[in-house]
Structure 1
Amino acid sequence: MNERQHPTTAQDSPVTVIGLGPMGRAMARVLLAAGHPVTVWNRTPGRADELVAAGAVRAATPGGAVAASGLVLLSLTDHRAMYEVLDGATGALAGRTLANLGSDTPERSREAAAWAAGHGADFLTGGVMVPAPMVGTPAAHVYYSGDPGVMDRHRPVLARLGVPKYLGEDPGLAQLMYQAQLAVFLSTLSALMHATAMLGGAGVRAAEALPELLASADAIGAILRAGERTPGAALDAGEHPGHLSTVTMMGATADHIVDTSAALGLDLALPRAVQGHYRHAIDHGHGGDNWTRIIDGIRAPHRPVGPRGAGPDRSGGPGQPCR
């Protein structure tokens, strides 16, 4: 069936799920529970057994899986895996919508959208922002980007997986947001493990350390939202008022963390990276600015250092990144 020509209601829309890792299986289970006819395919057929027992149809080939539904959810490692799986099924793609919910770069997402269009298929990029057990729960949300009309057409079905958050027409946007969110997530996890290792050097057990450290992590959002103007608004305006946490003050703390970690014999990659952000800002004459000034060095890490205090601030005008 060509969904473009024969739309169905959200309740009876057939959906195909290709890729049955933990996330793919979770999505298929949620869709089955909601009453959708679900077709599944995986390179290792046995991963579909539980889903088939619950009512899913196991396709013999990727082409058969694509042909079974107007909406095809891809839960694969990356776009290379998508090409490997679908290269032999391109004849079935015309009139279908591929919603790629795996991970890759924004640029490769744009390339994948062009590849799909070349075979007559619509393409949505998605980023699932919860672990597999939370798919379909009220806490779940998924970022999407791509053609707005295609998004509107499939929104009722996609909402089964989690609240759809549509970012725009650029197919790379959802992956950019996904990667940005994971940059925060992964960096925070590494910071928690580093801090736990620091405390472990003094004999503090992880079971005792982590609750204290998690309280600090939980408080970050409240700290950043405090005040009359949020850091985001100030960053967009190019403002870094240094009346509270200055680059110099935070940089001194970063130095102390490096020294303490070194004395404990810990890996220094993470604390040195953080230290480098503050040193870059100080070297460019911004020690008295708010700590948010470190974004300049992140945006343009190789900008040469000139004489301190010489000439105007070259970090960019309001809302403008360093160049």
Structure 2
Amino acid sequence: MIARARLAATDVLVSRLSFGAAPIAGLFEPVGEEQAYEAVTAAWDAGIRTYDTAPHYGLGVSERRLGEVLRAQPRDSFTLSTKVGRLLVPYDGGGDDLAAGGFAVPATHRRVWDFSADGIRRSIEGSLERLGLDHIDIVYLHDPDEHEEWALREGYPALERLRAEGVVGAIGAGMNQAEMLTRFLTDTDTDVVLAAGRYTLLDQIALEALLPAAAARGRSVVAAAVYNSGILAEPRTGATYNYTTAPDALLTRARRIRHLAERHGTTLRAAALAFPLAHPAVASVLVGMRSAAQVRDTAEQFARPVPDDFWAELKAEGLLGDDVPVPVKEAV
């Protein structure tokens, strides 16, 4: 079983390694039902007990596929997070969702932004129906970048009421940026924020304000997209950084880190997974996985030791700042 950590002052526990369920909904390329089932089952077998999804992922396909596996497990044995802010409205225009949403699934629905109190409740009701579960542990406001005031004025208070009613255990926001997440930490009673790609071996923008704010207020951070969408998994020519082709300078930097990792008997992926957890505010690293093979590899890399000397040399080479927290082995 992978170790777990408690979110802020809540009773919600999360695996230090969490399963991201966007890829099993056909993110960028098709994923069949059997492959998705095997991926989630492999995550369970690897000891992962925290699973993250959203209505946005495959127009509900991610939630349905995740629920198919999790419904067979005792409900108190795992932690589930989903997101609100986009309602799914039936659509009969045909075609697929690749252009509109990035998922290789039939375009059976349209996404409609809705951070109203009614929209939040309707979204959660829809998620519970698709998942086939009786409750959700963590709910995030999903990508409110263009709807900041709406999300803060209506969406967040709605989540706060649901938390007070015991409908959900923890609330927060999930985004691909650090600035607005910092505002959620400082201006609300958010329990946790999900920061995608903003605290990695190549991008530590979250260290400037977000992570200090979380630590100061006793809140938690889930670090997602720790491979920066691919470059830190395999820095090959044409690798992606934040879903676009990586600039040459970043590719060179990632390759230097990989070289040092291999010289110290570990891997770039192991280092990328271990790095965020060195900060005391980070409760979990969240990794999207689309196959059983990816799950097994990720679990293996997560368990792989990363020597202290590697981190020291990373700083000595100027590849990490001197003030950046790094994992340190506990003395025996």
TM-score category (smaller protein) = 0.3 to 0.5
Q: Which has the higher strand share?
A: 2
| Greater relative contact order (Cα < 8 A, sep 6+) | 2
Q: Which has the higher helix share?
A: 1
Compare CA radii of gyration and give the structure with the larger one.
1
Give TM-score scaled by structure 2 length.
0.32
Give TM-score scaled by structure 1 length.
0.33
